[in-house]
Structure formats: structure tokens, C-alpha cells
Chains A and B, each alone.
Chain A
Amino acid sequence: MHVLIIDDNTLHLKMCRILLEKINHTVVTEESLDSLKKHTDDMPEPDIALVDFRLQPGVTGVDVLQFLKQNTKWTNTKYIALTADVGERSYLDGSGFDDVVSNLSQKACCRIY
């Protein structure tokens, strides 16, 4: 499975990469919307895109979702929002993501896949 993760927390990115690669998934990580914009043309369509809600100041996971939906021809990708903010969940529920996951841990990773 191809997994794309966009998160500004490098520790979290590293953990996800290690855990997912261990179970033979292909992982691409991006730390910001800007770097994602530079690389989307060369990216294969992921099966799942995990998008952190709080990115750099002024950029949210919803901006990432909109960018990907408008600028790629990805039709089968499932978009999952990640958040540690209790107040964001209800907002994210109606924002176009296929699912919202809070508190991503190893168990959550395994649940997703």
C-alpha cells in the first residue's frame, strides 16, 4: 500500500515511517504544504493520505486536502485527518476527509491499515 503522510512533527513522521515500512507499506513523508507542492507531480497516487490538521502557522490539513483534491488526479486516495486537538474533531468531520483520527499511536497506525 502507498501511504503519504503530511505532518510537521518529524518525530511522528519517523515513527510512522518505521512502523509502516516494517509491515511492507511504501511511505512518502512531507513536512509542509510547500514541500508537498514541489513533489506531488512525481508522486504515485497514494492509497491513503494521512494529513495532520495543525501544520505551519496559517496552514491547516484542510488546505492540504483542498490542494491535493484540486491539483492531482488522485481518485482512489482515502484522506485521513490527524489531530491532537479535541475541538477540531467536529470541525474536521465536515471538511471532506474520509476519516478523522486523534492520538495516532502504533495501535492507531495498525487500525488504519
Chain B
Amino acid sequence: MNRLCFFNKVVKVARGDSPPFDLASLPPKEQRDLIGETLFFMVEELEPQFAPKITGMILELDQDKVLHLLVTPKAFKEMVKEAMEVLAHSFLQQMKIARGKRC
């Protein structure tokens, strides 16, 4: 219920409806936190294990792009998939670094 409430609010804001509250009137940090909460639950459904990491990565993008992802399931799924690829690549790089240190 809490999740749906958050999501509806963000959707209304993104689609230009007149919601009970105005996202733009909130301080930047609160905006980010609110979007992050909604984004987190959506990411958790696709990638439960890496939800905190992927959410953090997506939140670093432009806010307009993030809001777009929230209301565009196809783009959102592609972004999550891309995040997983970036993470996998980063992990391989770290392994190479660790290997180099060991040698």
C-alpha cells in the first residue's frame, strides 16, 4: 500500500496532474529521497539482490530522466539491465586489480 501510494504520487507529478502535494516544492534532498523510495521498490522487483546498488546508480542520473524511467516500464527495465552489465564489468575490473596486486 505504501509502495502504491508513493508510486501514484510520482506518476501524477510526472504526468502533470494536480496531485495533493507538489514534488517541485520539496527541497532537493527530499525530492531525491522520495524518488529513491519509489525507484527502490521497482528495482527490487527486477533485481532483488542488487536493489540498493542499482537504485543508487540510477539516482545519480538527471532527475528528469529518472522520473521518465518511473513511468516508462520498458526504458526502466533496460536501464536496470544496463546497470547490471556495468556492475558485472566493474566487478571483473576489480578482480583484475586484485590479481595484479597479488602478483
Is B truly associated with A? no
Q: Using a CB–CB distance below 8 Å, which chain A residues touch chain B?
A: none
